């Protein structure tokens, strides 16, 4: 980084054409902390919207800015965040994963039925947990392979595999939700660590790993390029197929982790455990600033999107908004936020078809 | 309620019963329905090119089969109505034996079969409306008068089913789902009756059970089903009636959790943050949401202090009521054994001529049946099948649990 300083400009005689031609007074390559955070979570629209919402609810309701509500906000954010993080990798490609609910159903049931439960005599402990998460990864792999190698549009494939997930879960479910009886495993995701919900700790761990993957691995870096202009990336010799499949595996793993988290939280494996998360998660990703056309966005931005949705749902209840109009208000705020977010991008990003 | 999925996910929503707000039987097998709506899209979308051709051929075949099915149904292999007592076929139409609700329903039918010394045929449609209709049409091929007791998948399936039965000269009793403006007497005597369950009256009674366990005082929070859903409205209306009768109870908040356990957990968390210790009771419009709320109470260290009620009598709720440790005080059961036994008995009596359908009143042909409140005192009755002796009075008089006319 430091070679862009003035002393480098003094040595053009080395023969290389100077890349730092012209004066660069505000050095763009050494950003401040604030700028770094902005780069991560995306400045402008979504972050401002989140701050405005938090400020509004803190003033308008006495309970919003309280320890107990902060704790419930965090736990409500956790599962949505983990799903949305996974989805971000796929949406960055310009693809979509609609199998979230089916994958969560399957992974929650695989997890509970392999751990100590009230249905069978198995008690595999951590292996059950890993199996639950891997169930998600396998679904992701299936999604990726079908989409990439059979050239089926991703939303079609994932709609189908999602149905397979629900079907598989229904068979495992057998008419009655099996209960998770392993208190150790349950304790990993249930209750608080101090005032901090344990689910939130898992979500933070996932977030950190995802940020590292996005920044330092090929699948993370190429994801942007593929989403931006796939033919160009292909021409430059990158194995596009491999990285696309890997992105789907990441998304499936996210849903798998989310299924296991939900099972820990509720204490059961259930076919409908992911109910309602699919659309909310896509909304969170897009709201955060990841474009559905691909190439723009990131995991950090998704954090903001998921937080907005969680704060909104929580705040409207605290505010006592009539449940009959709540869903409309949520929709309205989301539309406004998306328009505000996209305002500066409206020339660069063509409307989503 | 089977309805559990969130309502907001329009993109992936495939549950017409929520969107139209229909009555659903409380079977967890509602999950199965998902398959039905997904698979066709999948088949069209998954494999382009050759699939298109295959789909074209399949469509032609389907139309051909459909036409032949129609013509065969219209054929004159119609057995004479009111057949001999000896050769009436007993048939149950349920969703799946893999969920306890419909399994109990089938067991109730078997009890009736035992009482008249006949085997009962069980048609399980696995939540596939097309399959359900074709199974019913297939009964005509047996060339025998049959008595059918069926839980139509959705309201829109009901008319096709009862018309198919009428064509074939069978007798049918439907439960839960029918279009509001279609009644058995509009079709004829072969659609004997329609039985459903009204959430208002029982909703009031079970709310009273909750209030009594609170000592008649304090605040409650209510978790509603999908707001435009008929049973959700009826149950909430029941709560409001009970509130009028109990001035000591205040409704702190009512929110929808869309029949979903997961949503109920997070909504309850938020409501607990809002109202804290003022929450002295939790009312939920189904057991799934009540169980989700229970987990939120556990996380807040309030489980066992705050009484909870739900509806539908799902197995886990019955377990909670039995153990009593978490103060799950009551739920509501439609008594699936009765639904399977008594309604089949009604269809059978019509088929044998013991009951003259044309002489039944309109009230008797479309009625709400009684439901029971399940508490710790009587929970055993709802976790195991009744004896034939216990169910006998209801089998002999299928109208014994008549509660109110639907219209």
pLDDT digits over A101-115, tens only? 999 999 999 999 999
Q: Do B227 and A324 touch (CB under 8 A)?
A: yes
Given pLDDT bands bounded at 50, 70 and 90, which one contains residue A45?
confident
Q: If you average pLDDT over residues B263-288, what whole number do you get?
A: 94
3-state secondary structure of A179: strand
Q: Indicate the pairing of strand B328-333 with strand B308-309.
A: parallel
**Which residues in A lie closer than 8 A to residue B262 (C-beta atoms)?**
262, 266, 272-277
pLDDT of residue A107: 97
Name chain B contacts of A63, Cβ cutoff 8 Å: 273-274
Q: Is residue A330 part of a domain?
A: no
| pLDDT score, position B61 | 53
**Do the Cβ atoms of A272 and B99 come within 8 Å?**
no
Structure confidence at residue B231 (pLDDT):
85
pLDDT of residue A29: 52
> What is the per-residue pLDDT for B177?
87
CATH class of the domain defined by B199-333: alpha beta
Task: Report whether pLDDT(B97) > 50.
Answer: yes
Q: How confident is the model at residue A350 (pLDDT cuts 50, 70, 90)?
A: low
> Domain for residue A63, yes or no?
no
Select from A330, A288, A256 the least CA-distant residue to A83: A256
Confidence of residue A18 (pLDDT cuts 50, 70, 90): very low
Q: Which of residues 41-70 of B touch A (CB under 8 A)?
A: 41-42, 45-48
- Name the residue among B4, B28, B270 with its Cβ closest to that of A317: B270
Portions of chain B given CATH number 3.40.50.2300: 11-197+336-368, 199-333
Structure confidence by residue, pLDDT tens digits, A189-235: 888 888 889 999 999 999 999 999 999 999 999 999 999 899 999 99
pLDDT of A47-102, one tens digit each? 888 999 999 999 999 989 988 899 989 999 999 999 999 999 999 999 999 999 99
Confidence check: pLDDT of B262 > 80: yes
Residue B26's pLDDT is what? Answer: 52
Grade residue A163 by pLDDT with cuts at 50, 70 and 90.
very high
Q: Which domain holds residue A121?
A: 77-286
- The number of angstroms, rounded, from the C-alpha of A305 to the middle of its chain's C-alpha atoms is 9
pLDDT score of A73:
93
Give Cβ neighbours of residue B243 (< 8 Å, ≥ 6 apart).
Answer: B207, B249, B251
> What is the complex's ipTM, to 2 decimals?
0.82
Contact (CB<8Å) A146/B46: yes
Q: Is residue A99 part of a domain?
A: yes
- pLDDT number for residue A40: 65
Burial string for B56-69 (b: 16+ CB within 10 Å, else e) reads eeeeeeeeeeeeeb
Residue A8 placed within a domain:
no
Question: What was the pLDDT predicted at B38?
Answer: 38
Record the tokens describing residue A186, joined without a space: 């349950």
Band of pLDDT at residue A30, cut at 50, 70 and 90 = low
Give the angle subtended at the CA of B288 by the CAs of A72 and A175, to the nearest 5°. Answer: 130
pLDDT of B41 over the 60 cut: no
Considering only CB atoms, B273 lies closest to which of A66, A146, A179, namely A66
Kindly report the pTM of this predicted structure.
0.78
Q: How many CB pairs under 8 A join A and B?
A: 178
pLDDT of amino acid B100: 81
B307-320: per-residue pLDDT in tens? 999 999 988 999 99
In the predicted structure, residue A327 carries a pLDDT above the cut 60: yes
Instruction: Check residue A41 and give its pLDDT.
Output: 64
Question: Which of B38, B224, B315 comes nearest A159 by C-beta?
Answer: B38
Q: Is the pLDDT of residue B31 over 50?
A: no
Q: Say how many domains are in chain A.
A: 1
Q: Residue B219: which residues within 8 A CB-CB, separation 6 or more?
A: B249, B250, B251, B252, B275, B278, B279, B280, B281
Residue A292: band (very low, low, confident or very high) from pLDDT cuts 50, 70, 90 = confident
Can you give the pLDDT at residue A324?
82
Q: Which of B3, B5, B25, B34 to mutate to test the interface with A (most CBs of A within 10 A)?
A: B34
Q: Does the structure show a pLDDT above 90 at A253?
A: yes
Mean pLDDT of B98-121: 91
The pLDDT of B57-84, averaged and rounded, is 47
Chain A residues touching B17 at Cβ < 8 A: none
Is the model's pLDDT at B10 over the cut of 50?
no
**Set of chain B residues whose Cβ sits within 8 Å of the Cβ of A167:** 34-35
* CA distance, residue A336 to nearest chain B CA (Å): 18
Is A220 inside any structural domain? Answer: yes
Does residue B7 carry a pLDDT above 80? no
Candidates B29, B39, B252, B299, partner chain A, best to mutate (most A CBs within 10 A):
B299
CATH (residue range B11-197+336-368): 3.40.50.2300
pLDDT for the residue B44: 40
Q: What HEC string does chain B produce?
A: CCCCCCCCCCCCCCCHHHHCCCCCCCCHHHHHHHHHHHHHHHHHHCCCCHHHHHHHHHHHHHHHHHHHHHHHHHCCCCCCCCCCHHHCEEEEEECCCCCHHHHHHHHHHHHHHHHCCCCEEEEECCCCHHHHHHHHHHHHHHCCCEEEEECCCCHHHHHHHHHHHHHHCCEEEEECCCCCCCCHHHHCCCEEEEEECCHHHHHHHHHHHHHHHCCCCEEEEEEECCCCCHHHHHHHHHHHHHHHHCCCEEEEEEEECCCCHHHHHHHHHHHHHHHHHHEEEEEECCHHHHHHHHHHHHHCCCCCCCCEECCCCCHHHHHHHHHCCCCEEEEEECCHHHHHHHHHHHHHHHHHCCCCHHHCCHHHHEEEECCEEECCCCCHHHHCCCCHHHHHHHHHCCCCCEEEECC
């Amino acid at each position: 980084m430091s070679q862009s300083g003035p002393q480098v400009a003094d040595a053009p005689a080395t023969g290389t054409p100077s890349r730092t031609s012209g004066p660069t007074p505000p050095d763009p390559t050494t950003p401040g902390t604030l700028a770094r955070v902005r780069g991560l979570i995306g400045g402008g629209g979504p972050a401002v919207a989140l701050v405005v919402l938090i400020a509004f609810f803190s003033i308008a309701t006495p309970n919003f800015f309280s320890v107990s509500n902060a704790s419930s906000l965090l736990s409500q954010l956790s599962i949505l965040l983990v799903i949305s993080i996974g989805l971000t990798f796929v949406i960055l490609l310009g693809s979509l994963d609609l199998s979230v609910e089916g994958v969560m159903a399957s992974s929650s049931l695989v997890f509970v039925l392999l751990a100590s439960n009230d249905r069978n005599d198995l008690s595999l402990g951590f292996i059950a947990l890993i199996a639950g998460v891997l169930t998600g990864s396998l679904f992701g792999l299936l999604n990726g392979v079908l989409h990439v190698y059979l050239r089926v549009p991703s939303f079609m494939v994932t709609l189908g595999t999602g149905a397979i997930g629900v079907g598989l879960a229904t068979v495992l479910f057998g008419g009655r939700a099996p209960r998770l009886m392993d208190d150790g495993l349950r304790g990993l995701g249930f209750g608080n660590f101090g005032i901090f919900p344990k689910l939130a700790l898992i979500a933070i761990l996932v977030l950190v790993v995802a940020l590292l993957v996005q920044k330092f691995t090929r699948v993370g870096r190429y994801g942007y390029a593929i989403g931006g202009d796939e033919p160009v990336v292909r021409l430059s010799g990158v194995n596009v197929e491999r990285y696309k499949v890997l992105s789907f595996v990441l998304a499936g793993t996210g849903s798998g982790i989310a299924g296991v988290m939900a099972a820990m939280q509720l204490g059961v494996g259930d076919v409908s455990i992911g109910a309602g998360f699919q659309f909310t998660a896509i909304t969170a990703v897009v709201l955060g600033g990841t474009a559905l056309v691909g190439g723009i966005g990131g995991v950090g931005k998704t954090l903001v999107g998921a937080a907005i949705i969680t704060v909104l749902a929580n705040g409207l209840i605290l505010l006592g908004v009539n449940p009959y109009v709540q869903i409309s208000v949520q929709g309205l705020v989301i539309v406004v936020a998306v328009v505000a977010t996209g305002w500066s991008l409206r020339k660069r990003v063509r409307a989503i078809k | 309620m089977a309805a559990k999925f969130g309502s907001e996910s329009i993109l992936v929503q495939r549950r017409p019963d929520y969107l139209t707000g229909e009555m659903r039987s409380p079977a967890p097998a509602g999950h199965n329905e998902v398959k039905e709506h997904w698979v066709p899209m999948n088949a069209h979308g998954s494999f382009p090119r050759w699939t298109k051709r295959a789909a074209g051929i399949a469509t032609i075949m389907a139309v051909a089969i459909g036409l032949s099915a129609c013509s065969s149904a219209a054929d004159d292999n119609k057995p004479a109505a009111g057949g001999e007592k000896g050769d009436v076929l007993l048939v149950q139409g349920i969703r799946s034996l893999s969920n306890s609700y419909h399994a109990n329903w089938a067991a109730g039918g078997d009890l009736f079969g035992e009482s008249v010394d006949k085997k009962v045929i069980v048609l399980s449609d696995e939540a596939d409306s097309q399959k359900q209709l074709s199974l019913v049409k297939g009964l005509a091929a047996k060339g025998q008068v049959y008595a059918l007791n069926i839980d139509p998948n959705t309201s829109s399936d009901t008319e096709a089913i009862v018309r198919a039965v009428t064509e074939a000269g069978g007798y049918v009793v439907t439960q839960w789902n029918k279009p509001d403006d279609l009644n058995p007497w509009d079709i004829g005597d072969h659609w004997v009756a329609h039985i459903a369950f009204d959430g208002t009256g029982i909703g009031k009674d079970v709310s009273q059970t909750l209030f009594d366990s609170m000592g008649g005082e304090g605040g409650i929070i209510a978790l509603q089903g999908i707001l435009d859903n008929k049973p959700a409205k009826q149950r909430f209306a029941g709560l409001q009636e009970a509130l009028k009768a109990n001035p000591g109870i205040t409704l702190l908040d009512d929110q929808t959790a869309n029949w979903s356990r997961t949503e109920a957990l997070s909504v309850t968390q938020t409501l607990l943050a809002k109202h804290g210790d003022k929450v002295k009771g939790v009312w939920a419009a189904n057991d799934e949401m009540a169980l989700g709320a229970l987990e939120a109470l556990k996380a807040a260290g309030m489980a066992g202090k705050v009484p909870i009620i739900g509806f539908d009598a799902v197995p886990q709720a019955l377990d909670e009521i039995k153990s009593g440790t978490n103060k799950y005080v009551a739920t509501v059961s439609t008594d699936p054994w009765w639904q399977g036994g008594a309604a089949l008995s009604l269809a059978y009596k019509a088929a044998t001529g013991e009951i003259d359908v044309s002489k039944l009143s309109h009230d008797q042909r479309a009625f709400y049946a009684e439901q029971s409140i399940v508490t710790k005192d009587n929970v055993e009755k709802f976790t195991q099948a009744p004896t034939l002796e216990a169910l006998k009075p209801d089998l002999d008089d299928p109208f014994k649990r008549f509660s109110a006319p639907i219209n």
